[in-house]
Structure 1
């Protein structure tokens, strides 16, 4: 049997890193599980991209000005880092790239005594980090290399109880301020369509299956939204609306009009902040589409929502907090006020 090519060994090392990441994340207890997952999953992604580069005629190595590979002091070759390979193989509009960048940044600011709360805060993105890896693995190397049959869906409790929505709010309140602000800043830079994409932040609605069980039934089945028929999608939209209404009886309860945002921000800043300045701010931070947009729902939902019943945009307390924090910086304040489309 001929020896395996180098890329195959790199690919197996990548899969081993992903297996270890999942094992460490799913273990009992809460000792640095999130950091361990991020470290090993990032290594898995790095090696996956290296193998992808090799098999497709790319170049995973760092080279000097003459095109020669560069060695480490220990004698091994120097490889391109993860962010370089990402830029070569993922477009800026690819949610996978945003998801990887999120975890590269998050690892640097994790506070270990609050890691459990942080893990709950970013659970959907953590799931997407793994699912994106698996899908890319299969797309690039075939179903025979998939990890899906080896990994187990963990049993969990905290997200399926009647009080789940309140639990998430409590956990968010307990997360470190620095982490919350970093996540908020990262999200504010994302285009709404990327932030809403399942490949960036994986969100599911659990609907218990009731009725007679058949031999073909699985405990849990994932259905891709793009594979649903129009009729099935309509049913799912209805279910999502029911769930949202259950946890948020009045969707815009507590939401603020632009004038109310202006009053709160101006009082906190102690400097001029008018309706015109607020318009400059939502344009600068891209929290909602232009007034003449045909897609008025395309907002950054943490900050702004479109109320179709009253045909107006409303804003959140999180938007007020964000503006106060960002505009307290003289440089940012000047940039926002001077912003032009």
Structure 2
């Protein structure tokens, strides 16, 4: 599709420029705020890609309007749909692509007010970053044709293997810091919440293994080959799996669904069996809010993944929370030791105050 001069073409060009800048930032080893810069510019690239597509297909209907039919404005500019709304309005993205984009939208919001030093998080999310870029190019081609493909413009980032190993070790140590721990917890929780059929796709996260090619191949062959998993034969897939079983660094996922986790009613029942009085669902709400093991309900601005994973996890599939046995045991311990009473947690909840969970755990 050869676009003529106009808003669609200019918007698309700014989208491509943002994507190329994101790659340039990511591939410069000494660039400050490298991961933040990549994520921010890729969010801009995706948003403007959708805006170019909408402008080309539905005109200016991707702007918000007031009840009187006039455009909403911010600082005198018409307010356009943000990326999350664009994804919803488009409605045709594969679940794996949507999960990848949702991951970066939420992560962008979390890192906006944090300083991430060098590669602590970058090493963890390399696969998701690579998929975010691949998915962008595939969607760009779907929307506007092969002539807008970026692969001729991009280069593969050369790696120093020894330095990379040293960087990984240093990054692992830095992951112990409080802010990085919180981001790591978010990443782990998000990945765990995904079904295997999404998590294992290249559209959600590219899993790359660097294996030197030392066979007698044609001397005109490319040094790097990217294999599309969906086009690989079953025999070759089995061979790949044998190789990756030996050398890949994998985070193991439990196949059981919510092992060792309980619904609120189960927690309440277990607690009531151990104490001299009964607690209710309202008491349970007071407790999890006061001890801050999960967000309170009814707040759309709260990230549901912000939980104390020692006691509680967000179940994205069912849009609710499940609790560890340790949560019931903590309540029982607090009550038996006199650190938790009904009057105390009700008063704290009513006044939107918190209890120090460390004192209950001690």
Give the TM interval when normalised to the shorter protein.
Answer: 0.5 to 0.7
CA 1:203 to 1:168, structure 2 compared with 1: closer, same or farther past 3 Å?
farther
Moved over 6 A (4+): 159-168, 333-337
Q: Which runs of 5+ in 2 are unaligned?
A: 262-266, 272-306, 314-319, 328-362
Q: Cα distance, 1:141 vs. partner? A: 1.0
* TM-score scaled by length of structure 1: 0.67
CA 1:73 to 1:324, structure 2 compared with 1: closer, same or farther past 3 Å?
closer
Q: Cα distance, 1:128 vs. partner? A: 1.0
User: SS of the residue aligned with 1:154?
Assistant: coil
Q: Cα distance, 1:105 vs. partner? A: 1.6
For 2:168 and 2:86, how far apart are their aligned partners in 1? 38
8 A contact 1:7–1:51 mirrored in 2: yes
Residue of structure 1 in register with 2:180 after alignment: 176
Within a 5 Å distance, the mapping from 1:31-180 to structure 2 comes to: 31-57=32-58, 59-74=61-76, 76-90=77-91, 94-110=95-111, 111-158=114-161, 176-180=180-184
CA 1:235 to 1:160, structure 2 compared with 1: closer, same or farther past 3 Å?
farther
Deviates more, 1:32-41 or 1:178-187: 178-187
User: SS of the residue aligned with 1:133?
Assistant: helix
For 1:165 and 1:114, how far apart are their aligned partners in 2? 13
Deviates more, 1:93-102 or 1:2-11: 2-11
Q: Which runs of 5+ in 1 are unaligned?
A: 263-268, 274-320
CA 1:225 to 1:173, structure 2 compared with 1: closer, same or farther past 3 Å?
farther
Deviations 1:246-286 (A, max 9, x none): x68xx89xx9x99x979xxxxxx9x959xxxxxxxxxxxxx
CA RMSD of superposed structures (Å): 3.9
Q: Cα distance, 1:13 vs. partner? A: 0.7
User: SS of the residue aligned with 1:28?
Assistant: coil
For 2:37 and 2:31, how far apart are their aligned partners in 1? 11
Deviations 1:140-197 (A, max 9, x none): 1111111111111111135897899978866755682111111122223322221222
CA 1:165 to 1:187, structure 2 compared with 1: closer, same or farther past 3 Å?
same
CA 1:43 to 1:333, structure 2 compared with 1: closer, same or farther past 3 Å?
closer
CA 1:147 to 1:31, structure 2 compared with 1: closer, same or farther past 3 Å?
same
Choose the corresponding residue for 2:242, options 238, 241, 244: 238
Residue of structure 2 in register with 1:6 after alignment: 7
Deviations 1:266-309 (A, max 9, x none): xxx9x959xxxxxxxxxxxxxxxxxxxxxxxxxxxxxxxxxxxx
* TM-score scaled by length of structure 2: 0.64
User: SS of the residue aligned with 2:42?
Assistant: helix
CA 1:218 to 1:153, structure 2 compared with 1: closer, same or farther past 3 Å?
same
8 A contact 1:158–1:164 mirrored in 2: no
Q: Cα distance, 1:78 vs. partner? A: 1.6
Residue of structure 2 in register with 1:220 after alignment: 224
8 A contact 2:18–2:44 mirrored in 1: yes
Residue of structure 2 in register with 1:279 after alignment: none
